[in-house]
Structure 1
Amino acid sequence: MISKTAEYALRAVTCLAVEPEASTSADVLAEKTKVPRRYLTRVLQDLASMGLVTSRSGPGGGYLLAHATDEVTILDVINAVAPLERINACPLGLKSHSSLCPLHAELDRAYAATEAAFAAVTIRQLLESTNPIVPLCEVTSS
């Protein structure tokens, strides 16, 4: 349902959110998120251009979240890199379809529900989940 780019962006933002005050290099992010570094760099540039992350160059540089984790939703991250496309007009370009046909109306309702679900979950909620599986971390049993 979401693009690989959006998935990678969510991984990067979630990883940065674990230590929101610490600057993290692209190399470290690539290793932790299992995203190819060249691809991740482009994703991070998109996130930075949309104001979700900031970057600092030089020693001790890297990437930081630009906002508190309770201010950023899953939808914010997705929209920054690969927005979900809603259906606003007939995809076939049929002139007689002045409104959406039943098929495309139903598909758009599903997209709207997906957007609403993603908008309802913040990055903080992901990190504070009671689920024993921690995002982006291998959990070993004792």
Structure 2
Amino acid sequence: MKKLLKSIILSAALLMGAAAVAPSASAAWSGYQTGKKVRVYTDASTYSSRATSVDWKAEKTTAGRVYYSAMLVRSDNYSNSGAQRGNFTTATPLKRFSLSGVKPGTYRVIVNIYSDANERNYIGSASSAKIYIK
């Protein structure tokens, strides 16, 4: 009986230790935004100094094709990520912003939505939940 109790306690301690050091993988969708019901996904909400990229995608629930311009923007509205452009009818494929040269801080992925490829007919913007880059 003592041996069984000792095994249970040791197993519980090992599981708690493993849970304490496991990396956080908290992917997050934003809520739906703009008249086209667009939301933005990021693969995590916190990125360590060793992270190499922010993976993101956008999806919408309304019909029709939209065009987008997306940027990784710091909370003080600074962006050095460059814009990614494209179009989609339901969702973008998974896209990636490199974190090379990105300073620590609070960021969002901002996706500007247009009804035309020339980006003249602006519909609105959708932003991800806040992400933290260390």
TM range (shorter): under 0.3
TM-score (norm 1): 0.24
Q: Which has the higher helix share?
A: 1
TM-score (norm 2): 0.25
